[in-house]
Amino acid sequence: MATPGSAPQEFDLVTIGAGSGGVRASRFAAQYYNAKVACIELPFGFVSSEDVGGAGGTCVIRGCVPKKLLVYGAALNEEFADAKGFGWQEVQPPHDWKTLIANKAKEISRLNSVYVNLLRNAGVAYYEGKGSLLDKNTVQVTRPDGSKEVLRAKNILIATGGYATKLPIEGAEHAISSDEALHLEALPDKSVLIVGSGYIAVEFAGIFKGLGADVHLMYRADKPLRGFDEECRGQVAENLTKRGVVCHGGHLPTKIVKHDEGHYTVSYKSPDGPEQSMEVGLVMMATGRSPRAQGLGLEAVGVQLNNKGAIKVDEVSSTGVPGVWAIGDVTDRINLTPVALMEGMAFAKTAFGGQPTKPDYQNVASAVFCQPPLASVGLSEEQAIAQLSGAIDVYVSKFKPMKYTISGRDERTLMKLLVHHESDRVVGCHMVGPDAAEIMQGLAIALKCGATKAQFDATVGIHPSAAEEFVTMRTRTRQVTVDNESYDDRTIITVDSANRPGTLVEVVQCLTELGLNVKRARISSDGGWFVDEFHVTETAGPIQQGRKVTSESKLRVIKAVLNVEYEPESEHDSSLHGPNPTALARQTSDTFDEVWQHSTVFEMAGVDRTGLLADVLQLLTINGCDVRSAAVWTYSGRVAFVVSVVEGCGQQPVRDVSKLHRLKQLLHQMMDACGNGIVNAQPVKGLIHYERRLHQLMLKEEEKDSLPPDADLGPERLLVSPKFSRPDVTIQHYSHLNYWLVTIRCKDRNKLFFDTVCTLSDLNYDVYHGAIDSEGEMATQLYYIRPRFGDFFWDSVKATKLRVMLEAAIQRRFPKGLKVHVRHMPTAQNTHLGQNWLADLTAAWKEAGLWITRAKVRAYGDHGHTLYVMDSNGQPPDPRKVQPAYQGCSEEKMAEIKRFMFKVVQQSGLSQTGTYLPAGINPMLTTAPKDDINACMEEAEMVMGGAVQELLQRTGVRPEQVDILVTNCSIFSATPSLASMLINKFKFRTDVQSYHLGGMGCSNSTIGIGLMRDLLQARPNSLALFVPAEVASAAYYHGLHKHYMVSNCIFRMGGAAVLLSNKAQHARVAKYQLHCNVRVHTGQSDDSYRCVTWGPDPDGCNGVYLDKKIVAAAGAALEACLRRVAPKILTWGQLLEASVNYVGRASGLVDWKAWKPNFTQSVDHFAIHAGGYAVLKGIQQGMDLPVDAVLPSFAALRDYGNTSCSTTWYSMAYIETCGKVAKGQTLMQIGVGGGMKGGINI
């Protein structure tokens, strides 16, 4: 120990952190390379903090080791239960939690001493205290008693690990983390709620449940353990449920209320569901860990952190600062103890052994000690498909462990091998079942050595054991091969899998939904196995249409989707979905033509008539339903609808059961005068495959017509489109093979294969062999089929019915009538149809004697809406009759709009070459504006996050030092809030006082300072962060009304970040001191209230409405502000002049004009809201300000545009940049905006 005044001790290496990685690196450097090493660690304690740690780190003290001890304890409960099946008397001894925790604590204390001795025995100097860097070669140790010592080092290694974090919700302080969970005094009497889906959450769910507690597990995703193989995740979720853990997938808590110790109310909700609550005795958050990189002095030496707060390192763990290194969880690479050990050894070799060594992160095995455990090494199935070229062979085995055959436990073991078909190399091993971790450690060696499937097969298993299953799996479960090399004009997809009813239709449906057309196919099935080859081409886009698939991302999606193992279809499946919509949506939500939505879907079919669709939509609209999407097919006097709706006010499915029942009754009456129409309704959360459902609805309608055996399809029955000849369908019986042979010849078209296969499947016929050729103009299809139910004998009635249905299915695809493609619709920023639009359109066409024969309209994306219309004579109508019925935009109208916008821009004061728009709505970058919630969030994170990032870097303030956070954005208000977005991005403290202000308009940045002042007055000695911004994407207007178009011309992207403090130490470093502030609200006046609003235009398209009275209203608000602020800032002489003027005019003895103050006598600088040239000019004239006083505000408008509430801060930045602000000078900040509100800060 250094004495006062002595020179600092010199070391080759100083390690900060004595966890697994730090201890390994220090020992190796000292023992194997004779380095002089010191290691610094915080004092030992069971619950970590800024001042508590201990040798051994997280793993030994509050992680892997104590958790595994508790897992052992919980697993004994299972052993007691299983013992009965083996002849033991039923026994359930009581459990003493305190004994378990005391014994655990004793063992952990012993291990802590062991780690200290390991260091000392290796010759490492051990310092207890907190280490921090003074420079890149100097470390200061602060001991528990407050004394300090300085160490000099040639190398410094940061190995401080991480710490548990909590969700930033109200009441989060009442939740415990895994640290406290490992050291609880007692299990709660009531149930335990665990929030999270990772290792820790799932493991503790098993621990608490095994030791007798009722456990709820809540997580945001659909299954726990994100990142693991999907099939394994599903197995773990199933096991948790079977063991009595109540899983709340797709939910997150929103608030925790503590009533007393051991009694909490937790509010929670799904993203689109109502808020619910539960009473629990304990809340544990296992929602992640953050790197412990703060308070180490890293900024002083230039060590950089990433956006998660982890230390940035290169491939040999160097920070980029010479001599400063980092390993383990603080670098957030792979946060596992064995990985930290590997990194520690690699560092020692690199820094002291002269052998630059990169840690090898390939094939790192891991285990989750749930019950039973999950273990894996290598790639998951999803990763293998995405990362490797060529086919992936999947081998899966699910079986009941031998032990459970007698114990009676209802649990199955899952084992899975992934093999790269071309090289035969095993690329992934996964297991959920007893002893999974022990088995996987051995398999990890095999994968590290590059073992092949042939070598696995050649290995003799140990019998009887579960492990032998890995070397005896011979039958491939599934394989999808994509060949893009054999042909120049097509892609060949081969699906090789176990067969069952519905496999073929699922594959064909997936190919169709992915925008692929099958040109040739070979189908072969022996009943138990399915091998199909499909030659496909693209169907979308003028360039790609008819060509092979060239997009690498789409090729990966094809393999991912077709590798999904679907649930079998039931005989009477009435699902609204296609194959496994959850899996498909997860993997291809941006690829499928359909939409993932949460809505109520009405399915209707019946006899068609003029105006039927209009009547249906009008009924739904009147009853408060908002149409999200709709698809319509008509054929031979029949019609089928699939209409997706939400409650008009809340964008939720129709939840009122009585309302749903009433709507079904009314729709049933409307659909068929005979009362036998089809009406179904149910909530759907997932992909809605409209075409499959329309096929099934039309089949049900057509089955109502009885057909004699010799029925002939005349022209009155089959309405053939002039473009296409009538299809030729023949059905023959091959009695010696028990097959029916279906032959179809017709002109080729898109989705022909899909229509045929769907019809066969929906009529309960299975295809055993088949061939499809459509290389030329004509297409030929051959299918060897058998009825799915009943015998194989020939039935001429059934055969005739099948022929009729196939011909109808092929022909009904061809729409009849005039095609109307509506690209511009009065939608609310292309995300929402508007409650009345579709109903109004169809009603207008009904009045004009038109009806819709086919339609596909969607309230999302920018694809437009396609409808086919016929007149009452069954002929395409005159386009001039159709045009007035919907809101189109003529060339004359568009020219007028362009002239208006050009005029606004010319007079706006904005630079023609400057200012900034987000990429999604920038006309220089896109012709299809994107203003959905993702685009808005991206802009908000870029603007607000960028401003905060720069502010923190410039001031040196750390996020955890901020006590109050307030964000502002008028139009865009997301959930979680924008304040929550910043909390998540910068990891502010869990007790930060945060608020988000919405709908406040352009003045809020100014009047918000008053709120910040009030918050700081209520919370002494605090630091507050104010982040005002506006999201230009959310304000984007798609309509045609001039009063709404101004915002597109002048609103721009921008934001600011401002720190405010009432701490004494900040008085000397702050730029400004708030002298006073005033605000007024003139919303009592209708003109003021309505001059700036955000909402729908007359056509239902949302935008910012700017009335002509805005300048006058802003002037009135500003005048009211100036009257209130004048007495606080004017000189005594000015106040005397004002008093004399008032008295003189009031007496009537003199004819004086009203006195106007000269604010330049008491104010040096003016930062005015740059709302537009007219606004600035009006304020300048109204206040009699000289030109140079408003130049900074005009410059901000010119270079940045109207950035809404942040414009005054841009003006202040211009004033500062010009160097005009001096100490003691006064600055006036002026803001006016919607409401109408005004504010002034001095």
Name the residue among 387, 538, 364, 375 with its Cα closest to residue 447: 364
3-state SS string for 965-1004: EEEECCCCCCCCCHHHHHHHHHCCCCCCEEEEECCCCCCH
Is the backbone of residue 346 left (phi > 0), alpha (psi -120 to 50) or beta?
Answer: alpha
Which has the closest alpha carbon to 376: 417, 333, 328, 335?
417
Per the CB < 8 A criterion, the answer to whether 496 and 523 are in contact is: no
Under 8 Å between Cβ of 1016 and 338: no
* Residue 178 near residue 200, CB atoms below 8 Å: yes
Q: What is the DSSP string of 313-344?
A: --TTSB-SSTTEEE-GGGG-SS--HHHHHHHH
Identity of the amino acid at 675 = G
Q: Where are the beta strands (DSSP E) in 44-147?
A: 125-128, 130-135, 138-142
Catalytic residue set: 463
Residues 834, 368: Cα–Cα separation, whole Å: 48
Q: CB of 868 within 8 A of CB of 852?
A: yes
Cα separation, 582 vs 596, whole angstroms: 9
Specify burial of residue 142 (Cβ count, 10 A radius: 0-12, 13-18, 19+).
middle
Encoded tokens for 973: 């208000």
Distances (CA, A) of 441 to 232, 426, 436: 17, 15, 9
Identify the residue whose tokens are 């019986």: 733
Distance CA 595, CA 686 (A): 8
DSSP 3-state assignment of 172?
helix
Rounded distance, CA 551 to CA 516, Å?
A: 13
Longest dimension (CA), the chain: 123
For residue 602, give the nearest of 661, 670, 680 by alpha carbon: 680
Neighbours of 1055 (CB within 10 A): 28
* Structure tokens given for 131: 């280490």
Closest CA to 661 of 640, 675, 682: 682
Tell me the angle at which helices 20-33 and 337-352 cross, rounded to the nearest 10 degrees.
Answer: 30
Q: What is the spatial distance between Cα 938 and Cα 1033, in angstroms, rounded to a whole number?
A: 10
In the structure, how many helices (H) and strands (E) does the chain have?
Answer: 34, 47
Rounded to whole angstroms, how far apart are CA atoms 165 and 1060? 26
- Give 320-326's long-range contacts (Cβ < 8 A, gap of 24+): 321/136, 322/136, 323/136, 323/137, 323/153, 323/154, 323/155, 323/156, 324/133, 324/136, 324/155, 324/156, 324/158, 325/155, 325/156, 325/157, 325/158, 325/351, 326/157, 326/158, 326/159
Q: How far apart are CA 455 and CA 452, in angstroms?
A: 5
- Residues 777 and 770: beta-carbon distance below 8 Å: no
Q: Which of 1115, 944, 1181, 934 is nearest to 1033 (CA)?
A: 934
332: closest CA among 293, 295, 302, 365? 293
Distances (CA, A) of 951 to 144, 442, 955, 959, 1025: 33, 51, 6, 11, 10
Tell me the backbone φ, ψ of residue 182, rounded to 5 degrees.
-80, -5
